[in-house]
Amino acid sequence: MLGVLVTCGEPSEGLRASELMYDRRGRSMGPVDGMLMDVFELSSFGQVQSSNVGRAAAAQAVITGGHADLIKVNDGLVTVDAVASGDVETLMRDLEELGMKDMVSFGRLVSGHLPVAAIGALSSISTLNFVRAAAAETHKGAVTSEGIKSLGVEDLITAEQRKKRGGLTGTGTTVGFLSDTFNNFNTDGFGTPASDYTEDVANGDMPKDILVIDGGTPGSDEGRAMMQILYDVAPGARMAFHTAFGGQARFAQGIIKLVTEADARILVDDVRYFAEPMFQDGIIAQAIDKVREMGVAYFGSAGNYGSRSYESAWRNSTYEGIFGGWLHNFEPDPDKEPVEMQPINITVNSSFVAAFSWDEPSFSVSGPPGSASDLDIMLLDSKANVLTMAANDNIGADPMELIEFKNTGEYDADGDGRPDELFYIAIEFRAGPKPPSIVKYVMRGKGELTAYDTKSGTGYGHSNANGCIAVGAAFFNNTPAYGTYPPKVNSFSSSYPVPIAFDIDGNRKKMVEIRRKPDIIAPDGGSNTFFGKDKNNNSHPNFFGTSAAAPHAAGIGALMLQIDPSLTVDEIAEILTSTATDMDDPDTEGFDTGFDFRTGYGFINGVAALEETRKIKKLKDEPPTEPPAVVEEEPPTEAPREEGDPHDEDSSDGKQSDREDGNSSHDRGRRGRGSHRGKGNDVDDSSHEKREKTGKGDRRHHRAKGKGTNRNDEGKGDGSHPRDDHEETEGFLRVDIDDDLDILVSEQADWTATEQ
């Protein structure tokens, strides 16, 4: 126990200069996010110039002194998301007066590029609820991706082979891509690529006629790498691009524009904004649900965060924080001493980034009242000195903080002459009527929790939308086509669930929604012409991550639409999930038959999906069979009866015979109805397999095995996709488990089973 954390403590001599320079780091100024204020302060010190700053140089300046590389400054401009307190158009006019460029709005949110020098003036805008840096990242982890062999469509790669297999190229379908850039490579930040778009076209790795609606500011051209994958799987499909960078509103608008302006039937993205809501569908998720209603299949990368998430019910530690509020108790056992600081190991030259949230509605989504609580998260050294914090005023805004830190090797709080690598996380309930029910953070970077690690779901944001087919990743060499059966999911592929507690109007759901994510797993690690590093010594770089998996799956979707252009989004999803090869969650005991929250319904089987599509198309094309005509027979002529005929009497035997016939028919009908699988039984913890995960300490799993990946036998004769099934929890602390849902029940978050 490190004692009561009341102040930042007296920093050691080695930290004093750093603390003096960055003592305000992470603290907001009115409606301006603390991270954005950091950029402004650094700019004022001359560390980030307000003009003619290359992306790499600016990023390095922001990193200096312990920051990670989330915020990029390009030509003196920083990308921001501003939330209107009232009328959006009025806010846009006010921001335009400050020099904000390329503005796009979606709902209450305005995205654009703001001059760094104007950040200080933002606090004077009355039409602004709050503004934050638009921090986002992609899920990246004569060249043909090895993934097409994993998909089972390797024999379709040449024109001759495709002709033999029915000419499947994806022709007739437009696939829209959302990533950082397509043909706008930033050589200052990323060096010189091994190939550019012109060379890709000349070498047959890309088509010529790609529609670019918004190419974005210079980036890594990860969108082009994704397109190369789709071109390997479905070279006949048309392609269009819109950047997903430039703020959440630009991303959401890009989703709509790719459908309305490019007529895309399939969309695929590989981006996540760190500040997307965790417990509510944000504007990007809403845009995805909107295009799904328009008949568009959306494939989203699940994310590369594995199970790197802490999730817990709020517990007061009885210790006071630096702002006078209560600190969270990381120790779940009420019989043990409270623990107010969670240890985390961050090696030298590694970065730690965490998106931190709690279960309250977001003003940026649903307007007032927004978050009722103000919580802060901070990183400390072993002497309880605060090294960095995220301390925005969240009341009336969003329940979200983003903390970042880079261990530059300059910290030595224990005075042993070696750079510190052991640090601590603290969470403070600073203000509000009462603490929230749940606190949760999702990590990115190299930080490793050494205690109280709940290893919870990391797939938050738009990949958790109902309308998104969330795609996880498996290295192509760990799939059946390359000798590995069952296929193995990558350790970094994001896990789920992340519960949805609020509707888009900000109302708490009576029952919290648990969505079946991810949907499927697809291959990554294949070769391309320029993106990534060569890992298999074939002179071509390998593209890893769910960024690479998603376009593989989208390519199969394009081939399916060529076979049957009338396929609905639900049919596409149902075919992909019902034909997938079952996989196992490696973090649980035993084989997880059917759906699980790490591998979804399994590894995509391209051949089986295409064959199932053909069967469905054939059934649609066959004319309905006319039932045989029913010929009514004349009733038999009744012979005259003689007096005393026993049939002339209403004998008891005859009555009994009639009753038996009737009752027999009724009983058969009732038995038929009774055979339908029931739901809604109380779930006894003892009826489910339990175990403590190694190294997790306080996470318990209740397993209810599924019957397999094909769910057409579950009483769902309407052909709807299983993604629409969801289990919910009352009061956010209760989980309903049906008899084939494999659900993770977090003891830390006090999840318990309840009747449906």
Q: What was the pLDDT predicted at 44?
A: 53
Residue 627 predicted with pLDDT over 50 = yes
Break the chain down into helix, strand, coil percent, rounded to 5.
25, 25, 50
Residue 596 predicted with pLDDT over 70 = yes
CB 581 within 8 A of CB 486: yes
Strongest mean pLDDT among 129-133, 149-153, 465-469, 607-611: 465-469
CA-based angle 746:487:710, to the nearest 5? 75
CB 166 within 8 A of CB 330: no
Residue 583, both tokens: 């996989």
Q: What was the pLDDT predicted at 1?
A: 38
> CA-to-CA distance for 469 and 573, rounded, in angstroms?
7
Alpha helices in 705-755 (DSSP H): none
For 61-117, the three-class secondary structure string (H helix, E strand, C coil) is: HHHCCCCCCCCCEECCEEEEEEEECCCHHHHHHHHHHCCCEEEEEECCEEEEEEEHH
Q: What is the pLDDT averaged over residues 279-289?
A: 98
For 608-620, how does the pLDDT look when each residue is reduced to its tens digit (9 = 90+)?
A: 999 999 999 999 9
Q: What was the pLDDT predicted at 540?
A: 53
Residue 66 predicted with pLDDT over 80 = no
Q: Which residue has the higher pLDDT, 458 or 187?
A: 458
> CA-to-CA distance for 205 and 318, rounded, in angstroms?
61
Q: Find the range with the poorest average confidence among 141-150, 183-192, 237-246, 343-352.
A: 141-150
Percentage of the chain exceeding pLDDT 70: 67
CB 5 within 8 A of CB 426: yes
Q: What was the pLDDT predicted at 626?
A: 72
**Residue 236 three-state SS:** coil
**Residue 474 three-state SS:** strand
- Among 327, 424, 323, residue whose Cα is nearest residue 4: 327
Paired with 32 in beta bridges are 29, 131
Residue 45 predicted with pLDDT over 60 = no
Q: How far is CA 585 from CA 310, 523, 708, in A?
A: 19, 16, 14
Q: What was the pLDDT predicted at 154?
A: 57
Residue 476 predicted with pLDDT over 60 = yes
Local confidence band at 155 (pLDDT 50, 70, 90 cut-offs): low
Q: What was the pLDDT predicted at 676?
A: 30
Buried b (16+ CB within 10 A) or exposed e, 112-149: bbbbbbbbbbbeebebbbbbbbbbbbbbbbebbbbbbb
Pairing of strands 297-301, 468-475: parallel
Residue 307 predicted with pLDDT over 70 = yes
Residue 43 predicted with pLDDT over 90 = no
> CA-to-CA distance for 516 and 597, rounded, in angstroms?
7
For 230-267, how does the pLDDT look when each residue is reduced to its tens digit (9 = 90+)?
A: 998 999 999 999 999 999 999 999 999 999 999 999 99
Residue 43, both tokens: 């700019």
Local confidence band at 487 (pLDDT 50, 70, 90 cut-offs): very high
Q: Find the range with the poorest average confidence among 76-80, 244-248, 325-329, 453-457.
A: 76-80
Residue 467 predicted with pLDDT over 90 = yes
CB 132 within 8 A of CB 275: yes
Residue 707 predicted with pLDDT over 90 = no
DSSP string, 555-606: HHHHHHHHH-TT--HHHHHHHHHHTSBP---TTSSS---S-BTTTBT-B--H
Name 430's Cβ contacts closer than 8 Å, sequence gap at least 6. Answer: 321, 323, 324, 325, 374, 375, 376, 391
DSSP string, 473-484: EEEGGGSGGGT-
Q: Which domains does the chain have, with CATH numbers?
A: 1-17+308-454 (2.60.120.380), 31-134 (no CATH), 138-305+458-619 (3.40.50.200)
Q: Find the range with the poorest average confidence among 13-27, 358-372, 402-416, 552-566.
A: 13-27
The region that residue 41 occupies, defined by phi over 0 for left and psi between -120 and 50 for alpha, beta otherwise, is alpha
Place of tokens 């002709």: 163
CB 177 within 8 A of CB 227: yes
**Residue 653 three-state SS:** helix
- Among 428, 367, 425, 352, residue whose Cα is nearest residue 398: 367
Q: Which residue has the higher pLDDT, 40 or 29?
A: 40
Q: Find the range with the poorest average confidence among 456-460, 511-515, 540-544.
A: 540-544
> CA-to-CA distance for 692 and 710, rounded, in angstroms?
30
> CA-to-CA distance for 499 and 634, rounded, in angstroms?
65
CB 8 within 8 A of CB 322: yes
The region that residue 284 occupies, defined by phi over 0 for left and psi between -120 and 50 for alpha, beta otherwise, is alpha
Residue 153, both tokens: 């469509």
Average of per-residue pLDDT values in the chain: 76
Name 116's Cβ contacts closer than 8 Å, sequence gap at least 6. Answer: 39, 40, 43, 48, 50, 73, 76, 77, 78
Pairing of strands 468-475, 520-524: parallel
Local confidence band at 166 (pLDDT 50, 70, 90 cut-offs): low
Residue 471, both tokens: 């795609």
Local confidence band at 736 (pLDDT 50, 70, 90 cut-offs): very low
For 385-411, how does the pLDDT look when each residue is reduced to its tens digit (9 = 90+)?
A: 999 999 999 999 999 999 999 999 999
> CA-to-CA distance for 756 and 744, rounded, in angstroms?
17
Q: What was the pLDDT predicted at 35?
A: 79
- Among 725, 372, 293, 283, residue whose Cα is nearest residue 514: 725
